[in-house]
Structure 1
Amino acid sequence: MDPVSLPARAGGALAGRRALVTGGGTGIGLACARALTAAGARVTVLGRREAPLRAALEGGAAAAWVSADVAGALPPIPPCDLLVNAAGAAESAPFLRTDAAMWRRMLDANLLGAAAVTRAALPAMLEAGFGRVVNVASTAALKGYPYVAAYVAAKHGLLGLTRALALEVAGRGVTVNAVCPGFTDTPLLEESVATLTALTGRDEAQARAALAGHNPQGRLVRPEEVAAAVLFLCSPGAEAVNGAALPVSGGEA
Structure 2
Amino acid sequence: MDHAGRHALVTGGGTGIGLSIARALASAGAEVTITGRNLARLQRVAEENPRLHPLQMNVDEEASVRDGIAAAAEARGPVAICVANAGIAEAAPFRQETLAHWRQIMATNLDGVFLTFQAALATLGREDWGRMVAISSIAGLVGLKNAIAYTASKHGVIGLVHGLSEEYMGGRVTFNAVCPGYVETPIVERNAAEIAARQGITEEEARAYLARGNRHKTLLQTDEVTGAVMWLCSDAARSVNGQSIQIAGGQVT
TM-score normalized by the length of structure 2: 0.92
1:52 maps to a residue whose letter is R
Match of residue 16 from structure 1: 5
Match of residue 176 from structure 1: 175
User: Is the CA contact 2:22–2:52 (under 8 Å) kept in the aligned structure 1?
Assistant: no
Match of residue 68 from structure 2: 76
Match of residue 84 from structure 2: 85
1:38 maps to a residue whose letter is S
SS in 2 for 1:84: strand
Q: How does 1:1-253 map to 2 (within 5 A)?
A: 12-60=1-49, 62-72=51-61, 73-74=63-64, 75-77=67-69, 78-79=72-73, 80-253=79-252
Following superposition, the deviation at residue 63 of structure 1 comes to 2.4
Which structure 1 segments of 5+ residues have no match?
1-11
Match of residue 8 from structure 1: none
Following superposition, the deviation at residue 124 of structure 1 comes to 2.5
Following superposition, the deviation at residue 170 of structure 1 comes to 1.5
Distance 2:209 2:51 in 1: 34
User: Is the CA contact 2:129–2:172 (under 8 Å) kept in the aligned structure 1?
Assistant: yes
User: Is the CA contact 1:22–1:84 (under 8 Å) kept in the aligned structure 2?
Assistant: yes
Following superposition, the deviation at residue 61 of structure 1 comes to 7.9
Following superposition, the deviation at residue 218 of structure 1 comes to 2.4
Cα deviation per residue 1:95-149 (whole Å; 9 max; x = unaligned)?
0101011101110111101111111111232434211100000001011111100
Cα deviation per residue 1:11-56 (whole Å; 9 max; x = unaligned)?
x521211100000000100000011111111111011001221122
Cα deviation per residue 1:171-220 (whole Å; 9 max; x = unaligned)?
22110000001000011112211221133222100000011112232211
SS in 2 for 1:124: coil
Does the C-alpha gap of structure 1 residues 126 and 167 become closer, same or farther in structure 2, counting only changes over 3 Å?
Answer: farther
Q: CA RMSD in A?
A: 1.4
Distance 1:216 1:85 in 2: 25
Which structure 2 segments of 5+ residues have no match?
74-78
Distance 1:184 1:62 in 2: 26
User: Is the CA contact 2:11–2:35 (under 8 Å) kept in the aligned structure 1?
Assistant: yes
SS in 2 for 1:197: helix
User: Is the CA contact 1:33–1:61 (under 8 Å) kept in the aligned structure 2?
Assistant: no
Runs of 4+ in 1 over 4 A off after TM superposition: none
Distance 1:62 1:137 in 2: 26
Distance 2:11 2:180 in 1: 16
User: Is the CA contact 1:45–1:62 (under 8 Å) kept in the aligned structure 2?
Assistant: no
% of aligned pairs identical?
42
Distance 2:233 2:203 in 1: 36
TM-score normalized by the length of structure 1: 0.92
